Amino acid sequence: MPDTIYYNSNGNNIAFDSLPPDVKQLVHQVQADDSSTQNNDSPVGFLMVLLGIYLFAYLLIKLSKFIDGDREEAFSIFKQNGNSSIPAPDDVPATDTAPAGEPEDKDYYIYDGNNLGLSEADITNILVKYYPFYNSLWPTVQYRFQQRLFNFIKSKRFIIYSKQPYKEMPVLTSAAAIHLTLGMDEFMLPWFKNISIHPEAYFADDSLRVLAGNVEGETVTIAWDQLLKGINNQTDGSNVGLHEMAHALYYQQAIADNNKEINFSSHFEKVMQEGEEVYKLKDNQKILYSDYAYRNLQEFWAESVEIFFEKPDEMKKCYPQIYDTIKELLQQDPVNKGNPLC
């Protein structure tokens, strides 16, 4: 799963569905301008094109409302007026003059993980409903997953860039971290104080790249729709939650903790060495990995983690050494579905 979704003027390599609505609109606008330019010799043709654009835009708006409505039903929203068990967000942006407690006027919300207003039962119910990996675990391993998740959530701050902050957002983004580190002793990723969530793919701060997720400073950022896509299909080798948490884990262990854990550093180095071997064959052999994995070794690592969890049998067959090294590093064997702990 590439965490950067590029788009270019030729229209190549565009993950159009993943673009934010304003970019999609821009693309439609450009296409509409092109069509009208090509037809400007004929007024009737021009009117037909305008009518077409109007109908298309109308359908698009209707469709987006339908999708939003659908999502509202599926997920539970934080803001529910009159329900005192759901806290108001603990932060009001400096420029926002709306009084606290009326979050519907804001574009983003910041929640302290310690004060989400979600009980352990609420969190477990979300896992049961939306996280298939959790459901496949034995009860004893599920207990470990839950306990770790509760502690992890409490230690983070969640920044949700949406007018509709869903309760599932902090739970399912955090679940990706717990999934990744379930076998390890250190799982809190303490360097990363913030988990930031955008409803859809978003622009990078420094460029016109469109991102499905990224790790920067003390923040892991993930696009919610991309996260759900990854969770809903657990066998396609693509999972942006695991991908970003793999980048975060590397940063935590190798940079922030300065390779304190020998197990991580020695095995990570081995994955990189094996990655270099796979790199050399990249023009002739692209089994399981996407082109994006060959951008650099960090991306190779993150994509290896996705494949390790989502296509363990294939990875074991095609790259037995990489599989075994990641298994040692993460202390997990996803081939054993009920109890992947080594």
Binding site for Zn ion (CB under 5 A): 3, 299, 302
Contacts of 65 (CB under 8 A, 6+ apart): none
Cβ proximity to Zn ion: between 152 and 250 the closer is 250
3-state secondary structure of 19: coil
Cβ proximity to Zn ion: between 137 and 240 the closer is 240
Residue 237 near residue 306, CB atoms below 8 Å: yes
- Rounded to whole angstroms, the Cα distance separating 191 from 219 reads 9
Cβ proximity to Zn ion: between 168 and 299 the closer is 299
Nearest approach, Cβ of residue 244 and Zn ion (Å): 7
Cβ proximity to Zn ion: between 153 and 201 the closer is 201
To 5 degrees, how large is the angle CA 274–CA 276–CA 277?
Answer: 65
Nearest approach, Cβ of residue 299 and Zn ion (Å): 5
Start-end of H helices in the chain: 21-38, 43-74, 120-130, 132-135, 139-154, 168-181, 224-232, 240-250, 262-280, 297-310, 312-318, 320-330
Sheet architecture: strand order including 194-198? 109-112, 157-160, 194-198, 219-223, 213-216
Nearest approach, Cβ of residue 266 and Zn ion (Å): 23
Cβ proximity to Zn ion: between 201 and 302 the closer is 302
Residue 132 near residue 175, CB atoms below 8 Å: no
Cβ proximity to Zn ion: between 9 and 207 the closer is 207
Nearest approach, Cβ of residue 152 and Zn ion (Å): 21
- Which position's Cβ is nearest Zn ion? 3
DSSP bridge partners of 341? 332
Helical pair 320-330 and 262-280, crossing angle rounded to 10 deg: 160
For tokens 């939306």, the residue is 130
Cβ proximity to Zn ion: between 3 and 225 the closer is 3
To 5 degrees, how large is the angle CA 278–CA 279–CA 281?
Answer: 70
Nearest approach, Cβ of residue 342 and Zn ion (Å): 26
Rounded to 10 degrees, the C-alpha dihedral 92/94/96/98 comes to 50
Helix, strand, coil percentages (3-state) for the chain, rounded to 5, are 55, 10, 35
Nearest approach, Cβ of residue 339 and Zn ion (Å): 29
The tokens for 264 are 């991580």
Nearest approach, Cβ of residue 199 and Zn ion (Å): 20
Cβ proximity to Zn ion: between 118 and 249 the closer is 249
Nearest approach, Cβ of residue 89 and Zn ion (Å): 29
